[in-house]
Chain A
Amino acid sequence: MTTGAFDVEALRDGFPALRQQVRGRPLAYLDSAATALKPTAVIDALTGYYTRDSANVHRGVHLLSQRASLAYEDAREKVRAFLNASEAREIVFLRGVTEAMNLLAQTLGRARLGPGDEVLVTELEHHSNLVPWQMAAAAAGARVVGAPVEDDGAMTAARVIERIGSRTRIVAVAHASNVLGTVLPVAEIAAAAHARGAIVVVDGAQGAPHLPVDVRALGADFYAFSGHKLFGPTGIGALYGRADLLGALPPWQGGGGMIETVEIESSTYRGLPERFEAGTPHIAGAVGLGAAIDWLCGLDRAAAAAHEDALLARATAGLSRIPGVRLLGTAPSKVSVLSFVLDGVHPHDLGTLLDGEGIAIRAGHHCAQPLMRRYGVTATARASFALYNTTAEVDALVGAVGRARELFG
């Protein structure tokens, strides 16, 4: 099927994982918000690193190490360009958003939070942008405050901004919700936060795969994303930090690669970004992430976004027609994530039934328990669409949900 200039079938050919049957049916992979499938370009980059270079970075004078180091730093430059950061040294390779938020909570949090201070988050945050701040706040005698989400899943700038107070030191928000799909008005929030002297941290786990990211236009002081949700390898992600702010943070993990001089009693540390990359990094992962970015940026991203929007609209309309379906998150501005509950059918039972038809969705609390509580549910079913999904897969989802409802009566 082709949507305008966007040829989905041609694109799908580049995803080996899509060429498989699940329980006798063609796989309909609707769980890309959990992790995206990988294009051949990424798999080849990983294999290529391990086959040809396979050496450590910044450690050896030999040719293999030189090639590995160049590839690693080349990947950093790709991430810089992808986020429109000013300088490559503003990019730190980490395991993903979770590690990035822990780094920030334990460095920025330690530096900025004192008794009575506040970290402002929102009710829709993933646990990874919540629990690290709770830990930092507890250590500092500070507290975490949550801005409420609207009934339809919208998160307005006004709702966040009205909670920025004189004690707000850090504002940490998602770019897009992993449960509701809601896109947050980050630029507006950031402008208001800056006007009151707060630092802005953005969880880009769901934003980066779907939305154009310009950290400077967004006003993000820090922006983190995970490679595996961006068609890249697992175990690699990146944290952008504005050079003056990132450079002022104390080191986090100590070890090789992040030091200048080491004595028995003390050490001095390198500058950005090596200061935050102790130990041998996930070199293959970084190279694979660079390949994912190249692959993604080689597509017509506007056409891809339009395709995803069309899938979301079709699924929203289709599921809405099934009696007993309640959609969670129908905000005007969304990425292609669709949570729902079906009256009388627990999401886990629904997930198992859909799996029987080769349809992979996610069921559970999606690491967003405060949001589940907000909507009075313990779990939801979630279908999430990537640019390789098709309208036929959306129709299969809608049909299977209808059949599950009939089975459970």
Chain B
Amino acid sequence: MDPRELYQELILDHGRRPRNFRVPEGPTCRAEGKNPLCGDHVAVSAVVVGDRVEDVGFQGSGCAICMAAASTMTEAVRGHTREEIAAMFARFHGVVTGAASGDAEDLGKLAAFSGLSEFPMRVKCATLAWHTLEAALQGRGEPVSSE
């Protein structure tokens, strides 16, 4: 696969102009994710009411894959329960690592990252925000890494 196919418009757009690049009002949890080898860094904050993520935002800096993955993640998980989000992450992880077979259409925008399975060195860029959200939802204090 030509990496130019990896950098499709959706990823370029979310990388350039990440959505929900903010701390939501009244966050109930927060976590930081850092990949020290490459320097990517995100902080994810969420408002959880009951079992549901009512709002979520992120801040940080990194490559287009990292920023776009964080941006699309915030859109995808909003309004979903912890359980649904955990399942979504598992599915996303399977698709970007190539462990899951079949098409990724059920993932919506997140399917744009399926080309990463051919670039294993870059998978960590796409999963950093997800690991960070998971840590935030589980109330883990220490920064996480996907390296």
Contacts and interface: CB of A to CB of B under 8 A. Distances in A.
Interface of A: 23, 344-349, 352-353, 355-356, 364-365, 378-379, 407-409
Contact of B4 (A346, A347, A379, A407): A407
Contacts of A345: 64
A353 B61 CA distance: 19
B12 A365 contact: no
Given A348-B38, A349-B64, A364-B37, A23 B2 contact: yes
B39 A352 contact: no
Contacts of A408: 7, 12, 16, 64
Contacts of A364: 37-39
Contacts of B37: 364
Contact of B39 (A23, A378, A407, A409): A378
A349 B119 CA distance: 11
A332 B145 CA distance: 40
Contacts of A356: 2-4
The A contact surface, by secondary structure, is mixed
Contacts of A352: 3, 6, 119, 122
23 contacts: A344-B16, A345-B64, A346-B64, A347-B63, A348-B38, A348-B122, A348-B125, A349-B7, A349-B65, A352-B3, A352-B122, A353-B3, A353-B4, A353-B7, A355-B3, A364-B37, A364-B39, A378-B39, A378-B61, A379-B39, A407-B7, A408-B7, A408-B64
Nearest to A364: B38
B40 to A, nearest CB: 8
A408 to B, nearest CB: 6
A378 B67 CA distance: 15
B79 interface: no
Interface in B106-129: 119, 122, 125
A375 to B, nearest CB: 13
B63 A346 contact: yes
B62 interface: yes
B12 A409 contact: yes
Contacts of A344: 16
Nearest to A377: B39
A356 B5 CA distance: 10
A344 B65 CA distance: 13
B114 to A, nearest CB: 15
Interface string B1-41: 01110110000100110000000000000000000011100
Contacts of B62: 346
B1 to A, nearest CB: 8
Interface string B63-105: 1110000000000000000000000000000000000000000
A345 B65 CA distance: 11
A15 B3 CA distance: 27
A365 B40 CA distance: 11
Nearest to A378: B39
